[in-house]
A and B are shown apart, each in its own frame.
Chain A
Amino acid sequence: MKSQIKILCYCTLAFALAGCAPSASTRPDTKGGAGSTPGAAGSGTDSRAGEGGRGGARESDTGASSLKQLQEGKSPITPGSSPLKDVYFDFDRYDLSADARTVLRANADWLKANSGARVEIEGHCDERGTNEYNLALGAKRAQAAREYLTSLGVAAGRLSTISYGEEIPVCKEQTDACWRQNRRARLVILQDRPTS
């Protein structure tokens, strides 16, 4: 699976912390210290958080919230360069598969290394079934991801959840492949919170 390769790739990079952005030339100041203004590294959307969470983890690293993307007419897709990867679920399920746990462990590592980042976990569903049930199911998916991340040592206070049910799909065709992409928990960096 392509996503698994990406995950492995990411893990390696996360540990090495060589800056996992495709364009490593814009690595931000990782030693900026407490006073550094988050996001001061110009307009670079691929600026990356530095070790220890003192750099600015940015909303643009993960893409904005799916609602904001919808409002701006953009796809709520998580960019391939995002340090926080989507996790996927089976139809009408909210338990975490082995794959999902692998992805979340990598996400947890990044979150622990970037302790300034506050993250909203979005629960999404495919279009099948009724809207309200899917809102509840999406909430379960987001919560399952949140609980696993906290069990791995990420502070619960940094993780909020929201469910968009089937309302903001990333793929709109009526195919199994498309539905699979929509049954996800997506992690979005809410804002910079530099350690002081």
Chain B
Amino acid sequence: MGLEEKLPAGFLLSTVEGLAGYMRKASIWPATFGLACCAIEMMAVGTPDYDIARFGMERFSATPRQADLMIVAGRVSQKMAPVVRQVYDQMPNPKWVISMGVCASSGGMFNNYAIVQGVDHIIPVDIYLPGCPPRPQMLLNAIIELHHQIETSPLGVNREEAARAAETAALSATPTHQMKGLLA
């Protein structure tokens, strides 16, 4: 709606936050976005054996314009990267991304020139899901984790504050290339 984004901070917004989070988490439509072998497991989650509809995901949307969740299932090649970004841009807000499998999360065992080393180079990722490929229960677990995240996500003024705090923390953190000495 957009109205909830304009509320001033305080009691009203926190109530709306809770309600909106509760509503949003229970009706997420995933976009069909299978790129490789992980997509087979993603399809298996749609079968009656695991039944993704129990989590309010009645169908996999064939168009990104009617999808809220992008499950990047499989390795993202350099050639596919602009397509991933475009599909993500076509999804309406609010939208979430699950990076399914190690290839999508970090390149996995394909540490080479052809594969994007983690889909978070292209789009913001909410949940990382390890596994090669993850079994259907692992994807369901990732979806439940995402539900927790959506339920507690801030809105409007609070979200802007949270984003600003996250940016400040990221800027003040030590960059990886400046970390010296022995690990741990």
A and B are partners in one complex rather than unrelated chains: no
Residues on A lying within 8 angstroms of B by beta carbon are none
